Structure 1
Amino acid sequence: MSNKETFFNYINEGYKTKGDFITLGSAMLGEETITDAYVKIPLKTINRHGLIAGATGTGKTKTLQVFAENLSDKGVPVLLMDVKGDLSGLAKPSPGHTKIDERHAKIGFPFEAKKFPVEILTISEQNGTRLRATVSEFGPTLLSRILDLTETQSGIVAILFKYCDDKKLPLLDLKDFKKVLQFATGEGRKELEVEYGRISTASTGSILRKIVEIEQQGGDLFFGERSFEVDDLIRIDEDGRGIISVLRLTDIQDKPKLFSTFMLQLLAEIYSTLPEQGDSGRPELVLFIDEAHLIFKEASKALLSQIESIVKLIRSKGVGVYFVTQNPKDIPSDVLSQLGLKIQHALRAFTARDRKAIKLTAENYPDSEYYDTAEVLTKLGIGEALVSSLSEKGIPTPLARTMLRAPMSRMDILTPKELEEQIESSKIAKKYNEIIDRDSAYEILNGKIERIIEKEKKEEEAKIVAKAKRSSSTRKSTRMNPVLKVVTSATFIRGVLGILKRVMK
């Protein structure tokens, strides 16, 4: 048996699957693609999370696109974090190309051009179906971690949430929470002290500054109503394909705290909403986070800890999370250790530091008698990657240099007109883009403050009137009758006493 035949059997045995799967491409031996040596990912293991990494221009985004397309075809909903604005083309079919035909001939897999059901989402000022969440939905613990508060400050946040719950004050947006902070150390200070204890003005000032920081990054657009429902992320179209929700984030690349805030809240909401799935054989939802280093950039230890915990737990709800970044070292080691699928595109070695990083990256992959992993990492072409996944039994599959299939949809963005048409065709945009500004903590407390001020004003006026009455009464009591004044005068009394003395003699 030739080396090629041995390798073919090695790959097909290693990637054998009994259940449903996604075909990424065919394995390569050296520079040759071994036709029909398919690299397949079982749907059953996709909720074990994954990584798509590689240098700029090596094909990471197209791999993400292929993955999303095939999940949609299998009836699995997808959420894509589109930081660079590259993924809207999923809504249109590929125009095709001779190079695509040549690639698929090598892979041994037919190419089919098609479009996919796409929902355009936004959390910023860009057009699209708007994603929002209320401050109450964040809760005191998550909000405190996002703001990176001290233990004392976190305690104050918990007290204020309790006060709002007790007084039926809806916390919908940041404006509401800022008003509660100001009320707690202003007009409402005495009321809160009686029921909840003294609240430090210095601490509330620090919390307020942290909120302003989030606002400056555009967080005020994310907090509010109407809250996005998780059920609208896990929709299936009339043809049984999973909806691909593309969240446009091109204008928040320089706002890492907002990105981290949004991602953590979204993961927490999905985790708390979806039921335990058990061993269902397919994921409920798959998230792809492009430019994933933005989540961890400038994140506090508490925030990192929360993200790590959610990533570990959320797979039990049938949710897979895939990080897309240039280098695996962009992902914290505790998160990286949770990733079952790794798709590694080429890395470039321009410096001694780069070469050292490549050697460390190679150690993340299983040993293979067919590859020198560190060497292959620098020689991968565009649209090629080293793939290591998990079998249905949870065992790592053989490391495979893979010629990846081409996207079936357009490998380019939608034109402005096409994008507008796509947004207008949305079945949920009207529901979430409606502006809702019902009475919440801000309006209720403003009314309460006005009543307190009016009450204090009336009390002050009453005091002034009472004081004036007392003053008037005193003046009246000192105005005596002229006869009485003479009778009570000292001279008169001495005269009377003198007369009495003489009479008695």
Structure 2
Amino acid sequence: MVDQGKLFIGASRNPDDTLAKAQYLALKFANRHGLVTGATGTGKTVTLQVLAEGFSEAGVPVFCSDIKGDLSGIAALGEPKDFLLKRAEEIAFSDYDNAAFPVIFWDLYGEKGHRVRSTVAEMGPLLLARLMDASEAQEGVLNIAFKIADEGGLPLMDLKDLQALLSYMAEQASEISARFGFVSKASIGSLQRGLLVLEQQGAQQFFGEPALRIEDIMRVAPDGRGVVSVLAADRLMMNPRLYATFLLWLLSELFEELPEVGDPEKPRLVFFFDEAHLLFSEAPKVLLERVEQVVRLIRSKGVGVYFITQNPLDVPETVLAQLGNRVQHALRAYTPREQKAVKTAAETFRANPDFSTAEVITTLGTGEALVSTLEDKGAPSIVARTLIRPPSARIGPLTDTERAAVLGKSPVAGLYDEDLDRESAFEILAARAGKATRSGSATGEEAPAKDESAASRWKLPGFDTGDEQPDRRTPPARRGGSQRETIIEAAMKSAARSVASQVGRALVRGILGSLKR
């Protein structure tokens, strides 16, 4: 599968159906990103598996989502079925053999894999607004909420932390509006209802600790093969917005945490974004601009991003132009939009004088594709009609027993299975409210007016001029806690490096609004 720095994809065919030449993907150009498209049932999932196997064999870690459960079979030994042996013979794949690959299963719900979590602070206001389908005004309120949390020493770990902070903002709307601009209680109420919807959809299971450590999806097995991280997404796909937002968050985390490496001989990680249309569908312009920026810049971090979708029109032109490695399975061309998609796909390839690309796209068989990869000095190869090689691992899902066995031997077993609930914004605000209430009871004073009562219960130290500075002590880690830096620790280190006179006064947020550690 790997030959002198190249992954074997399949073999191209001449117009008379005779074998032409082998088609490869050069590892040194694999971080230039890619695109796999085609109609349902044309072989996109098998192509994804073939690429994942090749990268793993080359020692490159892989992250991919398993939409239907079929991709889980990559962890099991393949079976020498007749149609697979026939395909190997057709493309002269003499080294074809069956194999199983090192796999770690992940699942936001913790049912079919290890739990995956992020904190609200790491998600950031932009992605959170996208997840909640917030309006521009509501997104502005979220940005103010994150600013208040940063300045007030209020770690936002889970949804109840954000709910508590929004309640504070509703009671202090006038004071906050005077400092940051108008904050309407209606917008806050809409956000609170949005959080309730997220909880009902199960999104609260994603927010919390221990948060996913990037190094755990970039593992290499003892035998030198890259570990394939497979996200169980069959249930997650019932909430498409959460699915797309989670993958985009993970992509932004990779961008923010990994150092620059230029153009390595092979990628540090390959990231497959299946059902990519969900990322771009109805996304606001600012988010599309950020996605384009991340895709363009993450290449220098040694990460290759491969989008998988049915229609090339699903991907904006600005992103499409950055995808140098292309695998195009069959498309249908019955409606005007489908005909436009075929025309668009054909125009993105370097023409082959032996056939009409647009005509061939509609006649490709299952497991057959048009392939063009980067070669020489990064120029795309002439498009070739290619029979995709058969996978070495199983085609199809694992049984529950087989999946449990893989989870039991996982290198991250036990690291993410228990929830942690550190002291964060919810507990801090509740403690301050309780302290104010006890103080008023002890003095025997009359209860102040409604607005003053709210200020007494919720007021943040340092919010007004002349108050004491915010308490920025890091909440103590509970026994068995994550080794990951807490939000406040990261803030203090970042600020200390940049502005020594203002230690802890602000957090630096990355391109997509998450914390830059």
TM band (smaller chain):
0.7 to 0.9
Counterpart check, 1:101 vs 2:85: yes
Alpha carbons of structure 1 residues 354 and 222: separation in structure 2 relative to 1, 3 Å = same
Counterpart check, 1:68 vs 2:58: no
Query: Equivalents in 1 of 2:89, 2:170: separation in Å?
Result: 71
Query: Equivalents in 2 of 1:81, 1:390: separation in Å?
Result: 25
Alpha carbons of structure 1 residues 195 and 297: separation in structure 2 relative to 1, 3 Å = closer
* Alpha-carbon distance, 1:190 to partner: 8.3
SS at match of 2:160: helix
* Alpha-carbon distance, 1:26 to partner: 0.9
Q: Is the 8 A contact 2:247 2:273 kept in 1?
A: no
Partner deviation per Cα, 1:416-464 (whole Å, 9 max, x = no partner): 1111111121121310111111221112211222222333445664589
Deviates more, 1:144-153 or 1:402-411: 144-153
Q: Is the 8 A contact 1:288 1:321 kept in 2?
A: yes
Which one of the candidate residues 147, 157, 160 is aligned to 2:142? 157
Q: Is the 8 A contact 2:127 2:245 kept in 1?
A: no
Partner deviation per Cα, 1:219-247 (whole Å, 9 max, x = no partner): 21111101101111111000000000000
Q: Is the 8 A contact 1:49 1:338 kept in 2?
A: yes
In the superposition, the TM-score normalised over structure 1's length comes to 0.82
Alpha carbons of structure 1 residues 157 and 360: separation in structure 2 relative to 1, 3 Å = closer
Which one of the candidate residues 313, 327, 350 is aligned to 1:329? 313
Which one of the candidate residues 269, 294, 312 is aligned to 1:285? 269
Query: Equivalents in 2 of 1:413, 1:457: separation in Å?
Result: 63
Q: Which residue of 1 aligns with 2:293?
A: 309
Q: Which residue of 2 aligns with 1:120?
A: 105
Alpha carbons of structure 1 residues 167 and 351: separation in structure 2 relative to 1, 3 Å = closer
Work out the percentage of aligned pairs sharing the same amino acid.
44
Which one of the candidate residues 170, 178, 195 is aligned to 1:185? 170
Counterpart check, 1:24 vs 2:48: no
Partner deviation per Cα, 1:112-146 (whole Å, 9 max, x = no partner): 10000000001135321111111121234543455
Q: Which residue of 1 aligns with 2:157?
A: 172
* Alpha-carbon distance, 1:79 to partner: 0.3
State how 1:340-379 maps to structure 2 within 5 Å: 340-351=324-335, 353-379=337-363
Unaligned runs of 5+ in 2: 449-517
Which one of the candidate residues 258, 261, 266 is aligned to 2:250? 266
Counterpart check, 1:424 vs 2:408: yes
Deviates more, 1:103-112 or 1:337-346: 103-112
Query: Equivalents in 1 of 2:299, 2:196: separation in Å?
Result: 34
Alpha carbons of structure 1 residues 77 and 338: separation in structure 2 relative to 1, 3 Å = same
Query: Equivalents in 2 of 1:312, 1:121: separation in Å?
Result: 27
Alpha carbons of structure 1 residues 178 and 351: separation in structure 2 relative to 1, 3 Å = same
**CA-atom RMSD in angstroms:** 2.5
SS at match of 2:379: coil
Query: Equivalents in 1 of 2:318, 2:38: separation in Å?
Result: 20
Deviates more, 1:22-31 or 1:239-248: 22-31
Alpha carbons of structure 1 residues 454 and 192: separation in structure 2 relative to 1, 3 Å = farther
Which one of the candidate residues 239, 255, 259 is aligned to 1:275? 259
Q: Which residue of 2 aligns with 1:222?
A: 206
Q: Which residue of 2 aligns with 1:34?
A: 19
Q: Is the 8 A contact 1:54 1:344 kept in 2?
A: yes
- The amino acid across from 1:66 in the alignment is V
Partner deviation per Cα, 1:280-332 (whole Å, 9 max, x = no partner): 12111001122222222343333222222211111111111111111111222
Q: Is the 8 A contact 2:312 2:341 kept in 1?
A: no
SS at match of 1:429: coil
The aligned length equals 446
* Alpha-carbon distance, 1:348 to partner: 2.3
Unaligned runs of 5+ in 1: 1-16, 465-505
Alpha carbons of structure 1 residues 306 and 193: separation in structure 2 relative to 1, 3 Å = closer
Q: Is the 8 A contact 2:328 2:370 kept in 1?
A: yes
- The amino acid across from 1:412 in the alignment is G
Deviates more, 1:90-99 or 1:60-69: 90-99
* Alpha-carbon distance, 1:91 to partner: 0.6
Alpha carbons of structure 1 residues 357 and 154: separation in structure 2 relative to 1, 3 Å = closer
Q: Is the 8 A contact 1:48 1:315 kept in 2?
A: yes
Alpha carbons of structure 1 residues 356 and 137: separation in structure 2 relative to 1, 3 Å = closer
Deviates more, 1:164-173 or 1:450-459: 450-459
SS at match of 1:113: coil
* Alpha-carbon distance, 1:344 to partner: 0.5
- The amino acid across from 1:139 in the alignment is G
Partner deviation per Cα, 1:187-219 (whole Å, 9 max, x = no partner): x66886898787432332233233334334332
- The amino acid across from 1:182 in the alignment is S
Query: Equivalents in 2 of 1:240, 1:223: separation in Å?
Result: 33
State how 1:80-99 maps to structure 2 within 5 Å: 80-99=64-83
SS at match of 1:175: helix
Q: Which of the pair is proportionally richer in helix?
A: 1
SS at match of 2:236: coil
SS at match of 1:247: strand
Q: Which residue of 2 aligns with 1:256?
A: 240
- The amino acid across from 1:422 in the alignment is V
Query: Equivalents in 2 of 1:64, 1:225: separation in Å?
Result: 31
Query: Equivalents in 2 of 1:429, 1:303: separation in Å?
Result: 35
SS at match of 2:322: coil
Q: Is the 8 A contact 2:173 2:185 kept in 1?
A: no
Q: Which residue of 2 aligns with 1:494?
A: none
- The amino acid across from 1:22 in the alignment is L
SS at match of 1:452: helix
- The amino acid across from 1:175 in the alignment is K
